[in-house]
A and B are shown apart, each in its own frame.
Chain A
Amino acid sequence: MAHEPMDLLQGTLDVLILRALAWGTMHGYGVSRWIHERTDGTIAIEDAPLYKALHRLEKAEFVLAEWGLSENNRRARYYRLTPLGRKQLRAQEANWRRYAAAVFRVLEPA
């Protein structure tokens, strides 16, 4: 499998998805809506990379996917966080806070 470069967006996307799923079990569309609402549309995220990330996280065993019935009674693929995924979320969240704090320190007037 060709590994995608871990650019900023991909790393960001992973942590946002894990965060969404920490809130509860969701299908892909649910995750997409959750992120859009939380970011107020500030970050433009296409759905294609979101689904790619979901399946990549499944392969890494950070999330578990299962088929279930949606609110309108259709078969949908639901994702939930594994204990390993929860651990990964904590680690990535800490990294992000450090990263953001460093950027803020540079941007803020001395």
Chain B
Amino acid sequence: MMRRFFYPRRTRRDTQTDVDEELRFHLDSRQQDLVARGETNSDARLQALREFGDLDDAREYLRNIDQEIESLRRRKDYMSDLLQDLRFAMRSLGSDASIIRQSLILGGEAYRVLSVMPPQFTFPATTVEIHLPFSTIPDNAIPRIRPVRIMNVVARLAPGVTPEQARAEMTSITRELATRYPESNAVQRLVIQRGMLLAVTGAAAGIGSALLLSRYIEGLLYGIASTDVMTYVSVAVALPLIAGAASLIPARRASRVDPLVALQPE
């Protein structure tokens, strides 16, 4: 967590100030050098500006790129902090019931441990080992990588409520949400989009490495150039289509998942 203090977050305004200060330093230094060579102050400034080129354009470009660098760094910091915390928590606290009601720092946020699930408990997502209370996830702790997120929630039935009652209520809530937010309720479309994104990224990476590597196998290819455009294009087009079709199956399954199935211990 200490790293957060050493790398203070820079705001949009700071980025602009930094860029301005860097450019001002350049122009002032150049001006001083020219004055030392006998130019007048104003002539030196003019020459420094002329040598620089389009100052406003550079200012804009540098500010944008600095903001990108900053958000990349922020995302990377957050992920590595979180991973480190999780690894620590799993190693030192895993399966120890005495941690209940103690607090735990994850990604810079403090959480209180409410309960430890029995080992045979099956979560809806099998790769997740720590669950956070729904209401206490701070919004800024979720990196905004995609505009929409899929969220799995595990809940405990209130005393006296049967699974059937809960199921009926969930169904009516789902229906109401679907009519109120038709835009964000497209689970099926979402899963397909995510599948497609994977495929497109994969295709881009694949074509990149293929272009780099294919010249080494040039001698082994017969009747086709190592950079045959048609081959690249057809693979690039076919792959996302196949991925889209393949995503349909999990997509349909995801949109049909019964929320209560996940709520019952084995």
Contacts and interface: CB of A to CB of B under 8 A. Distances in A.
Interface of A: 1, 27-29, 32, 46-49, 51-52, 55-56, 58-59, 67, 70, 72, 74-77
Interface in B9-55: 18, 21-23, 25-26, 28-30, 32, 51-55
B81 interface: no
Given A32-B26, A51-B23, A59-B65, A77 B53 contact: no
Given A29-B26, A77-B18, A55 B51 contact: no
A58 B18 CA distance: 15
Interface SS majority for chain B = helix
A48 B54 contact: yes
B40 to A, nearest CB: 20
Contact of A1 (B23, B51, B62, B64): B64
B69 interface: yes
Contacts of A76: 22, 25
Contacts of B65: 1, 52, 55-56, 58-59
B54 A28 contact: no
A47 B53 contact: yes
A76 B65 CA distance: 18
B36 to A, nearest CB: 12
6 contacts: A1-B65, A28-B25, A47-B52, A51-B26, A55-B61, A75-B21
Contacts of A51: 22-23, 26, 58, 62
B25 A49 contact: no
Contacts of A46: 51-53
A70 B28 CA distance: 12
A48 B69 contact: no
A47 B72 CA distance: 26
A55 to B, nearest CB: 5
A70 to B, nearest CB: 7
B25 A29 contact: yes
A27 B25 contact: yes
Contacts of A29: 25-26, 29-30
B227 to A, nearest CB: 18
B66 interface: yes
B228 interface: no
Interface string B132-176: 000000000000000000000000000000000000000000000
A47 B62 contact: no
A70 B68 contact: no
Contacts of A59: 65, 68-69, 72
Contacts of B69: 55, 58-59
B6 to A, nearest CB: 12
A2 to B, nearest CB: 9
A56 B22 CA distance: 15
Contacts of B29: 29, 70
B58 A52 contact: yes
A13 to B, nearest CB: 12
Given A29-B29, A48-B54, A55-B65, 19 more contacts: A1-B64, A1-B68, A27-B25, A29-B25, A46-B51, A46-B52, A46-B53, A47-B26, A47-B52, A47-B53, A48-B58, A49-B53, A51-B23, A51-B26, A55-B62, A55-B66, A55-B69, A56-B65, A59-B69
